[in-house]
Amino acid sequence: MHRKIRMGMIGGGQGAFIGAVHRMAAALDGQIELVCGAFSSDPARSRASGQALFLPPERVYGSYEEMIDAESRLPEGERMDFVSIVTPNHVHFGPAKAALEYGFHVVCDKPLCINVQEALELEALTQQTSLLFALTHNYTGYPMVKQARAMIRAKELGAIRKVIAEYPQGWLSTFLEGSNQKQAAWRTDPLRSGPTGAMGDIGTHAENLLEYITGLEISDIFADLTTFVPGRKLDDDGSVLLRFRGGAKGILFASQIAAGEENNLRIRVYGEKGSLEWSQMEPNSLVVRWLDKPTQVLRTGVGSLAPEAQAHARIPAGHPEGYLEAFANIYRNFALAVRARMAGNMPDPLYDFPTVSDGVRGMRFIERVVEASKKQQWVAF
């Protein structure tokens, strides 16, 4: 079993955007090779994409159904080990279900699917099949996010009181979907994106990051969703108040009309003894403030970090890492888990990744936010 783990990709053909990110992330650590793909529902486009990726023509398929079926018939020494699903949201459920049913592990882009029911079905199927399912909430792959989580689990900040998570972007400040911009078009279309726009696309990243770092569980949600751009069919901005089990409180803010913002995912966690702040715009620093000690700026290059953080920093200490390295950490950890599974071993918990259950929580978050915003009252999570 000494070989690279084999990936088949669903979606991500020429002109797509997140597919290339997944491929780079998968390639970075030399643990995974792309062996096949159904890159587009248009067979010609799928073929052209496969060729550009140096794949043999016979491993480039016209549909995911065809790929999953054909690959399952290949000898074990050849066929793909897992699928990577990088299609728009409404085409997550089908391929994921099929892959699981045919015995393939799954990596799936977020959010998991279109509604809680689909999500629960995928979670159940994953449990039944004992297959591995990674959801690419990639931001949790950053070393400093791991560090933040480790510090909070070690109670260094004391009990957590208040959390503020936010993800402002500005790219949908205008009616971009009206000019046929592909990324804008499907993300603002309820049929392809699901019941929310900004809240599902990036709000779930904030929710996932918040829960991952703090370990807090949301108990109640209040929300105010807004569609600012005339003609848009889904929310492009949302403010959410949160209450957590145990008494902590939170604010979550996601916006795609925050003009001029790039991907300013940012979290602040206030505990009894200190607080921490992390921002994706400067991901290699973790600012830790204390009640009665000087503020610290943790970095990979100086001082010692928690093992969880060190295990996810791969380059010479003190050089900046970015989005792709964090994304690659999800793939690397998934590959390690697949390899452990193949060898009959338990996976090392140090190399964790978001799973289908994070996806269920994300879908529930989306539904509760929509409900709270409609009712204008607190809704139990």
Least distance in Å: CB of 205 to a second copy?
Answer: 12
Query: How far is it, in rounded angstroms, from Cα 152 to Cα 306?
Result: 11
> Using the rule CB under 8 A, is 260 a contact of a second copy?
yes
> Using the rule CB under 8 A, is 234 a contact of a second copy?
no
Write out the two tokens for 288. Answer: 């830790």
Query: According to CB under 8 A, which one of 121, 340, 378, 379 is a site residue for a second copy?
Result: 378
**Residues of this chain, 144-173, that bind a second copy according to CB under 8 A:** 157, 161-162, 164, 168-171, 173
Write out the two tokens for 207. Answer: 């929710």
> Using the rule CB under 8 A, is 30 a contact of a second copy?
yes
Q: Give first-to-last CA distance, the chain, whole Å.
A: 44
Strands 274-279 and 266-271: antiparallel
Distances (CA, A) of 143 to 57, 259, 270, 271, 296: 38, 29, 20, 21, 16
> Using the rule CB under 8 A, is 245 a contact of a second copy?
no
Amino acid identity of residue 259, one-letter, is: A
Task: Please tell me what DSSP assigns to residue 34.
Answer: E
Query: According to CB under 8 A, which one of 14, 72, 263, 310 is a site residue for a second copy?
Result: 263
> Using the rule CB under 8 A, is 215 a contact of a second copy?
no
Which one, 131 or 254, has the nearer CB to a second copy? 254
Query: How far is it, in rounded angstroms, from Cα 10 to Cα 376?
Result: 39
**Residues of this chain, 320-359, that bind a second copy according to CB under 8 A:** 320-325
Query: How far is it, in rounded angstroms, from Cα 164 to Cα 269?
Result: 7
Least distance in Å: CB of 91 to a second copy?
Answer: 20
Which one, 84 or 275, has the nearer CB to a second copy? 275
> Using the rule CB under 8 A, is 24 a contact of a second copy?
yes
Which one, 1 or 130, has the nearer CB to a second copy? 1
Which one, 98 or 288, has the nearer CB to a second copy? 288
Query: How far is it, in rounded angstroms, from Cα 118 to Cα 126?
Result: 12
Query: How far is it, in rounded angstroms, from Cα 269 to Cα 280?
Result: 15
> Using the rule CB under 8 A, is 249 a contact of a second copy?
yes
> Using the rule CB under 8 A, is 127 a contact of a second copy?
no
**Residues of this chain, 267-326, that bind a second copy according to CB under 8 A:** 268, 270-275, 280-284, 288-299, 301-304, 314-325
Least distance in Å: CB of 324 to a second copy?
Answer: 6
Closest Cα to residue 198, out of 229, 164, 177, 169?
Answer: 169
Write out the two tokens for 294. Answer: 């000087």
**Residues of this chain, 61-120, that bind a second copy according to CB under 8 A:** none
> Using the rule CB under 8 A, is 377 a contact of a second copy?
yes
Least distance in Å: CB of 16 to a second copy?
Answer: 12
Query: How far is it, in rounded angstroms, from Cα 318 to Cα 306?
Result: 16
> Using the rule CB under 8 A, is 185 a contact of a second copy?
no
